[in-house]
Chains A and B, each alone.
Chain A
Amino acid sequence: MVMASKRGEAHTPSTGRYLETERVREALEAATDYGATYAEVRVVSLTESTVAMRDGQLERAIPGQELGMTLRVLANGSWGVHSTTDLASLNDQIESTTRLAKAVASRRAKGERPIGLAEVPIFEDEHHWKSTLDVRHTELDAKIEHMNDLYRGATGHDDIVSVRTGWSDEHIHTELMTTEGMDRVWSFQRSLIHGMVTARRNGEVVSYRTRHGGQGGLEVIQACDLVELGEQAQKAALRLLEAERAPSGKMPLIADKDLTGVYIHEALGHPCEADLVAAGDSCLDGKLGHKIGNELVTVVDDPTMMGGYGAYPIDDEGVNTRPKVLIKNGVLTEYLNHRETAHHFDVDPNGGARAQDGLHHPLVRMSNTMIHGGKHKDMDALMEDIEYGVYACGTRGGQVDTGRGSFQFAAQEAWLIENGELTRPLKDVSVSGLTLEILKNVDGLTRDASLASPGFCGKGQTVPVGDGGPVMRIREALVG
């Protein structure tokens, strides 16, 4: 039934092992004997903590310890998967999971390609990204103190009706063993603080969200001036109370770093995921080597960007990570791949396999995705020749239909641009378009590119990501 760990301690040190290696090797050998061409066992232990406060009062603090294991078997060119919280049940699942894979394979139509895996270097090693201030040793009082800093900055105005603050940190410990002899252990941490400021005036209610976080421990939060972050959120919420409904139509758009990040994540990042390309669900199918954007546009997805919320040391198939240049000067150069899609497209895997936790199998995912900086000095330079347009900032999220190549993202706040100047504040601005059109419409980027606020990406599974870039100008976008 429920988890039967061999260890008595709920918190295993990052240098310890959850998997009994000899037993797992036996299980993997058994998978081979049953006919598997490949099998892997991946276990993930999450030591996590979330805290929620409202108006400076602790609402809830939740420490947790989760453990999950996924057995993945490739037999006759198809996958069988078993996920469980009961590590002790592994050896009992080998035969049935292999049988499952074979049952799927037996339904493959003639002419359909069996699944294969690209070859990768085999490692037996451990990698631990140590935080300066380990999240597992951060006391609740310290978290409350930081959340109160954010609260103090955001409160203190009659129109602010509530300030919610939140905290989330996690220590992720992963172990992977495969029939190919891979035996890797890695760990790292993430920390996040966020706030939601709600303002009300004359029956009008608005809210503004702010976030700061990244890969690492308490030092990530300490590096931010949280009072200032709160003050900015308060000002933004009060501005929204006075904001007008946005104009609607096609017009020039300037996006801040947050929104640029979400744009590139939705519009380009998702269609670059090779599992979607292989499934016929990407508008970028067949476009490798083609010019799909303005030559100003260079886009990188980089899990090695330490500090980014989407950073990770090794992907969930045990492949070493590296930066991936998705677009170079407007030309599509690379998809995001895991081992299966790399085999499909006959390329080397590039470390794009991520799973939400130990109970999910890896999918092709983004990490930290950014547009490189351009040549414009600053935002004023981007704005000076716009007669009528919109400057949009902050993100409320976005969505994409990768097959059709259409996307939508929403800004937290915006301004009207008239004759090169910001004039009136706007609210509820969303932007939509088609990937293959709008990448060509990017006609200005400021020089300074950096990751913006941390985010989360959903694709059946939720994973943390970093997005960002410079301030970006789009010649013509559909604003709603």
Chain B
Amino acid sequence: MLPDGAEDRLLSNADQLANVCRENNVQQWDIIGFQAYGHQLDIEAGKITMAGGGGEGGFGIRVVEDGRFGFAHLVDVSGAERAVQQALSIARKSPKIAGFLLPSEQEAQDVPGRFDAEILNVHPEDLLEQADGVLSAVKGLDERAIVTGGGVGVSATAACFMTSEGILSTGITTSHGIGLQVTIDVDGELTSSYQGQSSRTKMEDVPSCVERAVHWAQVTQNPLRVESGAEEAPVLFTSEGFSPLFSMVVPPALTGEKMVRNESFWSEKMEQQVLHESLSITDNGLLAGGMASGSRDGEGVPRRTQQLIENGRLVKTLWSTRDAAQQVAEGRIDAASSTGSAVSGGHQSPPSTGCTELFLTSSKKGKSWDELLQQMGDGYVVNGVMGAHTANPSSGDFSVTTSSILKVEGGEIIGPLKQAGLSGNLARSLCESVELGVDVRRQGSYSSGSMHLPDVLLSYGLRINPA
């Protein structure tokens, strides 16, 4: 999959760009380059409909002169001179950030488990075999179930990061992913469930998400007939149901910049209780095998593991070098420095600030699924919501629609609802009694990084409106 010498050629092209920066006497610069190769299959209507592959990549150049920065991106390095000139021209029009300097070289720790040579040897024919296996497994689990959408894919990405300050980092990461929408249609009563899974290493042929997709399409069949009417009720979110809301609301609130600009619902609450005292949040930028972890952040600063909320108390926020310098220069905070939290979204944009591998944990013993149901008593189980992206990250308020919801009475699941409105304020609900499950699963996110979340029982402040 990965052409011979891909990493070397990427580095050679980055060198060309660096030389253009040097020839133009750019004070400081950093260059990020990616080249990704992969194979993927699309599945629709219960069959493989397309096989694809290819390679794509490009370069981003950031220049800094007297605290002013400019950026440009390109695919073809023959356009390097123009890109550097554009970036310089923008830098000269940008406001000066006193004290903003690109970071110098610091020793960084290797993060294992982000590359699997086995993935390099996965051919399209192997993916076809895997997809056949998944389709068969779905049929084996439920003859009525059809995979109406999704696919499988593998990729290998060569990346390089090079700066005027002597940082040089290169490497190859791999990934293997699957996503599938499973639908069951019985006499026009259609239920469906989307589940996905990804890994830096080669996954088993039929990963656990396949069974989960079929399960949720099955258990939401034959919805109960209920009266419409809003009620406050506890909700047991599965990890998959909780992740979209959590990732939309919590990670943005933890960035230092939003905090000092009063744009976070946790602004002015440093060292105060912001979550239930049993809860902690940790960002593990060094997680072995992580999808977003790594040795260095998007500015070359070593990544680290850092506790952001400890026993409910807000103790730390996330910073990139640039954000920290800017907020200090503009007087919103006396001192701030990079926490190794610059996140690169690819070659087309300069780094922003974000989390990498966010863990929600509890000091209380994790509960099994049955124990969580028993504790809830009467309430609802939610495995999927529509419209999580409409949640308000400034306030934590959300108003969404469930796509998979079960009604629970006396700790027993009595059946699904067709759909229901679900609203509340996530930050406030997390301040009250919260119980976590034992099984932590990694979820992708809308914003940045990965969310490592168990099942979560929220008991207060949620309003359910069955339809």
In whole angstroms, how far apart are the Cα atoms of A252 and B245 in the complex? Answer: 28
**Residue B398 is within 8 A (CB to CB) of chain A in the complex:** yes
Taken together as a complex, chains A and B put the C-alpha atoms of A359 and B398 apart, in Å, by 35
Chain B residues with CB below 8 A from A200, complex form: 262-263, 267
- Which chain A residues numbered 53 to 84 have a C-beta less than 8 Å away from chain B? 57-58, 60-68, 70, 78-84
B167 within 8 A of A: no
CB of A64 within 8 A of CB of B72, answer: yes
B75 at the interface (CB under 8 A from A): yes
Interface size on A, residues (CB 8 A): 87
Residues of B within 8 A of A20 (CB): none
Task: Indicate if B230 sits at the interface (CB-CB under 8 A).
Answer: yes
- Given contacts A68-B56, A140-B90, A140-B93, A398 and B10 within 8 Å (CB-CB): no
Interface residues of A in 261-282 (CB under 8 A from B): 275, 278-281
Question: Which of B52, B124, B395 is packed against the most chain A CB atoms within 10 Å?
Answer: B52
A478 touches B94 (CB 8 A): no
Q: Pick the contact of B421 from A57, A81, A248, A399 — CB < 8 Å?
A: A248
Question: A190–B337 Cα gap in the complex (Å)?
Answer: 39
A280-B185, A403-B190 known; A428 vs B48 contact (CB < 8 Å): no
B243 partner residues in chain A, CB cutoff 8 A: none
A89-118 interface bits toward B, Cβ cutoff 8 Å, 1 = contact, 0 = none: 000000001001101100111001001000
How many interface residues does B have (CB within 8 Å)? Answer: 90
Map CB proximity to A onto B238-251 as digits: 1 under 8 Å, 0 otherwise: 00000000000000
Contact of B386 among A63, A84, A141, A406 (CB under 8 A): A406
Complexed CA–CA distance, A198 and B140 (Å): 52
A414-448 toward B: CB 8 Å interface, digit per residue (1/0)? 00000000000001111011000000000000000
A231 within 8 A of B: no
Whether A428 contacts B230 in the complex (CB less than 8 A), given A64-B74, A85-B75, A109-B47, comes out as no
Binds B, one of A30-38, A179-187, A201-209, A378-386: A201-209
Q: Does A156 reach chain B (CB closer than 8 Å)?
A: no
| Docked-complex contact A281 and B183, CB < 8 angstroms | yes
Q: Which residues of B contact A250 (CB under 8 A)?
A: 228, 467
Tell me what chain A mostly uses at the interface: helix, strand, loop, or mixed: strand
* Contact B93–A83 (Cβ < 8 Å): no
Is the C-beta of B51 less than 8 angstroms from some C-beta in chain A? yes
In B117-168, which residues have CB < 8 Å from any A CB?
Answer: 124-125, 128, 132, 146, 148-149
CB of B421 within 8 A of CB of A430, answer yes
Cβ contact within 8 Å between B387 and A430: yes
A401 on interface, CB distance cutoff 8 Å: yes
Instruction: Decide yes or no whether A121 CB sits under 8 A from chain B.
Output: no
B410 contacts chain A at the CB level, 8 A cutoff? no
| Contact between chains at A408 and B400 (CB < 8 Å) | yes
Residues of A within 8 A of B149 (CB): 279, 281
Chain A 393-405 near chain B by CB (<8 Å), digits 1 or 0 = 0001111110110
Considering the chains assembled together, what is the distance between the CA atoms of A85 and B230 in angstroms?
52
Partner of A205, one of B264, B400, B422: B264
Please tell me if the beta carbons of B54 and A403 are within 8 angstroms of each other in the complex: no
A27 to B58, CA, bound (A): 25
Q: Please name the residue on chain A nearest to B158 by beta carbon.
A: A1
Tell me, yes or no, whether B70 is within 8 Å of chain A by CB: yes
Cβ of B463: which chain A residues have Cβ within 8 Å of it? 248, 480
Give the CA-CA distance A8 to B95 in the complex, in Å: 33
Chain A proximity of B321: nearest CB distance (Å): 15
Flag whether B261 is at the interface (Cβ < 8 A).
yes
Q: With an 8 A cutoff between CB atoms, is B399 at the interface?
A: yes
Considering residues A70, A162, A279, A361, which has the most beta carbons from chain B within 10 angstroms of its beta carbon?
A279
Q: Which residue of A lies closest to B389 (CB)?
A: A397
In the bound complex, how far is the Cα of B90 from the Cα of A479, in angstroms?
46
- Tell me, yes or no, whether A133 is within 8 Å of chain B by CB: no
Of the candidates A109, A204, A430, which one forms a contact with B399 in the assembled complex, judged by CB atoms under 8 Å apart? A430
Bound-state CA distance A370–B35 (Å) is 40
Q: Mark B215-230, 1 if CB is under 8 A from A, else 0.
A: 0000000000000111
Within the assembled complex, what's the spacing in Å between the Cα atoms of A86 and B54?
9
Of B77-85, B101-109, B297-305, B363-371, the one contacting chain A is B77-85
A480 adjacent to B465 (CB under 8 Å): yes
**Closest CB of chain A to B263's CB: distance in Å?**
5
- Tell me, in angstroms, the Cα distance from A150 to B48 when the chains sit together: 49
Please state if A82 and B54 are interface contacts (CB–CB under 8 Å): yes
Instruction: With A403-B190, A403-B192 as known contacts, state yes or no: A58 contacts B348, CB within 8 Å.
Output: no
* Residues of the B chain whose Cβ atoms lie less than 8 Å from the Cβ of A432: 386-387, 401, 419, 421, 467
Q: Which residues of A contact B263 (CB under 8 A)?
A: 161-162, 198, 200, 205
Whether A249 sits at the interface, judged by CB under 8 Å, is yes
Which of B55, B124, B230 contacts A103, CB < 8 Å?
A: B124
Cα distance A399–B386 in the bound complex, in angstroms: 6
Contact B148 A280 (CB under 8 A): yes
Q: Residue A3 at the B interface, CB < 8 A?
A: yes
**A64's contact among B41, B73, B398, B399, by CB below 8 Å, is which?**
B73
Taking each of A78, A140, A280, which has the highest tally of chain B beta carbons within 10 Å of its own beta carbon?
A: A280
Q: Are A198 and B394 in contact (CB under 8 A)?
A: yes
**CB <8 Å contact, B50 and A79:** yes
- What is the chain B residue whose CB lies nearest that of A56? B95
Contact status B56-A83, CB under 8 Å:
yes
Pick the residue among B10, B146, B465 that contacts A2 (CB under 8 A): B10
CB distance from A97 to the nearest CB of B (A): 8
Any B CB within 8 A of the CB of A5: yes
| A-contacting residues, B17-66, CB 8 Å | 33, 35, 41, 44-59
Q: Which of B47, B75, B418 contacts A67 (CB 8 A)?
A: B75
Contact residues of A with B, CB < 8 Å? Answer: 1-5, 8-10, 50, 57-58, 60-68, 70, 78-86, 97, 100-101, 103-104, 107-109, 112, 115, 140-141, 144, 161-162, 198, 200, 203-207, 245-246, 248-250, 275, 278-281, 283, 359, 361, 396-401, 403-404, 406-410, 427-430, 432-433, 478-480
With A2-B33, A245-B423, A480-B399 given, can you name 11 additional A-B contacts, CB distance below 8 Å?
A61-B93, A63-B86, A65-B75, A66-B348, A68-B75, A79-B52, A82-B53, A85-B58, A108-B47, A200-B263, A281-B183
Name 11 interchain pairs, CB-CB below 8 A, sorted by A: A1-B13, A62-B71, A64-B74, A82-B54, A107-B128, A205-B265, A245-B423, A248-B463, A407-B386, A480-B421, A480-B463
Q: Which 5 pairs across A and B sit closest by C-beta, in order of nearness?
A: A480-B421, A10-B79, A410-B390, A248-B230, A81-B52
Q: Residues of B with Cβ closer than 8 Å to A?
A: 3, 6, 9-10, 13, 33, 35, 41, 44-59, 69-79, 82-83, 86, 89-90, 93-95, 124-125, 128, 132, 146, 148-149, 181, 183, 185, 190-192, 228-230, 261-265, 267-268, 348-350, 386-387, 389-390, 392, 394-395, 397-401, 403, 418-419, 421-423, 463, 465, 467
